[in-house]
Chain A
Amino acid sequence: MDHWQYLLVLAACLAITAPLEFFGAGVYRQAWRTAAAVLPVAAVFVAWDAIAVAVHIWTYNPRYVTGWELPGRLPIEELLFFVVIPLCGLLTYSAVDAILARLRRVRTRAAPRS
């Protein structure tokens, strides 16, 4: 069970943020726009990560990862990390933005006409 720990942490992040999809125009519903924002950044961070692992700046505890690896000895969990965490960030921003816009609309409507 320990080997699933990192994957389960990422799954929990996705599960907790999933409802935020319904506040704004959507992150998952705009899959191309999301991919165009997430993937270029993920590519840079995966490269950084691979270098850091190669020169032992940080490593992953074999006990808590599945053992499935990408070239460069990068755990598959790391690749997912660079997709999952930005998705959580996008969902959060998108939801906050939508809620603020709704509040502004309500306030404008409530303002007395002069």
Chain B
Amino acid sequence: MTGLGYTIPAIVAVLAVCVMEFVVLRTGLFRRAAYWIAMVIVLAFQIPVDGWLTKLSAPIVIYDDRHTSGVRFPFDIPVEDFLFGWAMVTAVLLLWKRRRLRDRGKNLS
């Protein structure tokens, strides 16, 4: 249970996405109600999908417990998966927003 292999990279991914927004892209995504509502919906669907992928009775993805915090909730989902998923989806939304802002700038000029 060192957490080195998964827990730490998952936390780093979340921090990297925050840096991407607050330092580099500044899309304002985190100030949009639509983003947070969408995140709640994504989370609600992640639980059954990820729960199915990671269930210990018949796992599709098998984790080495030495590399995780060992906390699995809800069902058998390693909590790190929520950081991983948030970082992945948010990074994509940031790039999507950046494109839109750039396109809008082009239309104005």
Question: Which residue numbers of A lie inside 8 Å of B, CB to CB?
Answer: 5-6, 9, 13, 16, 33-34, 36-38, 40-41, 44-45, 48, 52, 55-61, 64-65, 82, 85-86, 88-90, 92-93, 96-97, 100
Q: Is the CB of B41 within 8 A of A92?
A: yes
Q: Is the CB of A55 within 8 A of B96?
A: no
* SS class, residues of chain A in contact with chain B: helix
B residues contacting the other copy or chain, number (CB 8 A): 35
From A40, A58, A100, B62 is in contact (CB under 8 Å) with A58
Q: Is the CB of B64 within 8 A of A56?
A: yes
Question: Which residue numbers of B lie inside 8 Å of A, CB to CB?
Answer: 5-6, 9, 13, 32-35, 37-38, 41-42, 45, 49, 52-53, 58-64, 67, 85, 88-89, 91-93, 95-96, 99-100, 103
Q: Is the CB of A93 within 8 A of B45?
A: no
Q: Is the CB of A82 within 8 A of B59?
A: no
Q: Is the CB of A37 within 8 A of B88?
A: no
Q: Is the CB of B6 within 8 A of A64?
A: no
